[in-house]
């Protein structure tokens, strides 16, 4: 671990890291347990991720917690996930607040129970002046849904004359996304060996570096996050230019 830390270039820390926390089900199945056992063992990975964010000074971390497509899972699994959200929101968000981290939920939050919605609203408000970093929780989130929602809102504004077509720009479009004042993603990490975006931050990751690891999410530890950052720091980001 010491060795890994020495390899990190503190002048080249990504501003925004987004993580697709995948592989809970397979982690449990490998142990002969139900998939829900994997979800229950995901929290330590989340905690270590937040700690690394703080240690390295990563200003924004987005966690893909539940996708708009995840509603298509069996009811039993969804119920278990909802129960875990409730328990962890209660137990861990306070700890995140004490760490001076701001919490921003994104996605179709209105699809969750009132209990969960209220907790999310409460923590969003409570942490809004925190300055040690921002943790964005993507919940019932879908990139296509987000883009469609922005397009509809813009169309409405143009239709009633509150916005003119020439003012529909990258920047004004971005302002209509859930992530309006959050910078673009620099690095996407996906665990479990799958190599796809699964409808995650489609607009925001246009120029993100992609990092895939075979580690299953419940096994993801600080050292795995450091390795991802070190790998990112070796990349040459060109943004279409010649360098």
By CB under 6 A, name the binding residues for ligand IPE: 20-26, 64-67, 70, 81, 192, 194, 196, 198, 217
And the tokens for 178? 């859930």
Does the active-site annotation cover 22?
yes
State in angstroms the smallest separation of the CB of 12 from ligand IPE.
27
State in angstroms the smallest separation of the CB of 22 from Mg ion.
4
From 24, 41, 70, 167, active-site residue: 70
The answer to whether the CB of 12 falls within 8 A of the CB of 230 is: no
Backbone phi, psi, residue 140, to 5°: 50, 50
Which of Mg ion, ligand IPE, none does 67 bind, CB closer than 5 to 8 A by kind? ligand IPE
**Cβ closer to Mg ion: 127 or 213?**
213
Does the active-site annotation cover 181?
no
And the tokens for 7? 């390899």
**Cβ closer to Mg ion: 22 or 146?**
22
Residues 7-26, mask of contacts with Mg ion (x by CB under 5 A) = ---------------x----
CB neighbourhood size of 151 (10 A): 13
C-alpha separations of 65 from 47, 106, 138, 165, 213 in Å: 14, 10, 6, 35, 18
Which of ligand IPE, Mg ion, none does 36 bind, CB closer than 5 to 8 A by kind? none
**Cβ closer to ligand IPE: 44 or 132?**
44
From 3, 22, 118, 199, active-site residue: 22
Tell me how far apart the alpha carbons of residues 26 and 30 are, in angstroms, rounded to a whole number.
6
Tell me how far apart the alpha carbons of residues 18 and 184 are, in angstroms, rounded to a whole number.
10
And the tokens for 31? 């142990």
And the tokens for 91? 């137990």
Tell me how far apart the alpha carbons of residues 165 and 169 are, in angstroms, rounded to a whole number.
9
State in angstroms the smallest separation of the CB of 217 from ligand IPE.
6
**Hey, which residues are catalytic here?**
22, 70
- The footprint of Mg ion (CB under 5 A) covers 22
């Amino acid at each position: 671990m010491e060795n890994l830390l020495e390899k990190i270039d503190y002048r080249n820390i990504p501003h925004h890291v987004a993580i697709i926390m995948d592989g809970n089900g397979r982690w449990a199945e490998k142990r002969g347990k139900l998939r829900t056992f994997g979800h229950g063992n995901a929290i330590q990975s989340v905690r270590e991720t937040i700690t690394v964010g703080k240690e390295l000074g990563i200003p924004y971390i987005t966690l893909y917690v539940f996708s708009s497509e995840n509603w298509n899972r069996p009811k039993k699994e969804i119920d278990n996930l909802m129960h875990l959200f409730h328990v962890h929101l209660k137990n861990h968000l306070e700890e995140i607040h004490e760490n001076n981290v701001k919490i921003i939920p994104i996605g179709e939050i209105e699809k969750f129970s009132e209990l969960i919605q209220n907790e999310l609203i409460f923590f969003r408000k409570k942490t809004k002046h925190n300055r040690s970093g921002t943790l964005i929780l993507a919940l019932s989130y879908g990139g296509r849904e987000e883009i469609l929602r922005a397009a509809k809102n813009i169309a409405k504004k143009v239709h009633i004359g509150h916005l003119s077509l020439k003012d529909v720009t990258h920047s004004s479009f971005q302002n209509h996304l859930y992530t309006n004042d959050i910078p673009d993603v620099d690095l996407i990490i996906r665990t479990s060996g799958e190599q796809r975006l699964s409808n995650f931050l489609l607009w925001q990751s246009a120029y993100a570096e992609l990092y895939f690891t075979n580690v299953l999410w419940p096994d993801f530890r600080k050292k795995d996050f450091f390795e991802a950052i070190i790998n990112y720091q070796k990349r040459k980001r060109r943004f279409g230019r010649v360098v």
